Amino acid sequence: MCASVQKGDTGPEDLARRDGLGFAQGEYCSFYYHHDDQNIGRALRERGYYERSLLVRVVSHIARHDPDARGKHFVDVGANIGTTCITALTQFSFTAGIAVEPVDENFQLLELNRRHNGLESRLTLVHAAASRANGTLMVRLSEKNPGAHRVLERPSEKIAPDAMREVPAVTLDRVLEEAQVQPERVGLVWMDTQGHEGRVLEGAAGVCAARVPLCLEFWPKRLRKSGGVAGLIGTLARHYTHFADMGGDVRHKIPSEPLAELDTLSERYASRHTEIVVLNASPGQV
């Protein structure tokens, strides 16, 4: 359960109003959020959680292949304000977590939400963008959606300077090394990087070699701006055997499909996106 405000302290709603933030109390955890956020913030305001049903589907699917996954680490790449990783630790019993987020405003709320939910000892925060190399890169800032900032492969003169920001970049392998977490101890890598997923995996050789289950946003239109769909599929095919479309019919058990069929999925989602789980499955697990 969430950390509670001590007697005599200002309540979280009062603190949120003072700082121009929103605050949502959920069943398992609670979140401060950007008050003008009409995506994650609106969901938190209306329901107290964000994409929890997706997390339920993903964790349930992975448990069919690795019943011990929830006793391992949860790695959240593009963590935003922490709604996914904090829910994973408080509701789904992952042992510990690592959250990677590059944008200052989001990272500050990620820190606040970690502290408010009493997860300082279980959730490691990394203030950077995960990518294929260590260094720096440029992020394009979204005016309307704090969850839609995205890495620019090639900064464009058409983008106003104040709509871009240089941020530190780090490989996922380096993140795990510095956190002293072996890839085999990771139960799930959750990735939402607005089309940069292929580049993240290029810097995650250890994760892929260990066949760590992945949940990633699959957005062909955005992927084409960061190495392409073929590049992503090629990286995955060297280590994984199957994927499952989490955006499919949730009334039935979601099937795992051969990774070779991912090309077909890219045609289905030509102008939109979904989330997919990628894993290494034996014939009896499919």
Q: Mind listing the pLDDT tens digit for each residue in 219-272? A: 888 787 776 788 889 999 999 999 999 986 665 678 899 999 998 888 888 778
Mean pLDDT of the chain: 87
- Report how far residue 190's alpha carbon sits from residue 101's, in angstroms, rounded to the nearest whole number: 12
The region of weakest confidence among 19-23, 60-64, 135-139, 146-150 is 146-150
Find, among 26, 24, 1, the residue nearest to 12 by Cα: 24
| 211-224 pLDDT, tens digit each | 999 999 998 887 87
How far apart (Å, rounded) are the C-alpha atoms in residues 129 and 138?
A: 9
How does pLDDT run across 163-194, given as a tens digit for each residue? Answer: 678 999 999 999 999 999 999 999 999 999 87
**pLDDT over 60 (residue 8):** no
What domains lie within the chain, and their CATH numbers? 50-285 (3.40.50.150)
Dihedral over alpha carbons 32, 35, 37, 42 (to 10 degrees): 80
For position 145, what pLDDT does the model report? 57
Long-range contacts of 228-231 (CB under 8 A, 24+ apart): 228/198, 229/263, 229/266, 231/198
In the chain, what is the straight-line distance between the N-terminal and C-terminal CA atoms, in Å? 35
Kindly calculate the radius of gyration of the chain based on its CA atoms and give it in whole angstroms: 18
Q: What is the pLDDT of residues 84-136, one digit of tens each?
A: 999 999 999 899 999 999 999 999 999 999 999 999 999 999 999 999 999 99
Give the side-chain half-sphere CA count within 13 A for 35. Answer: 9
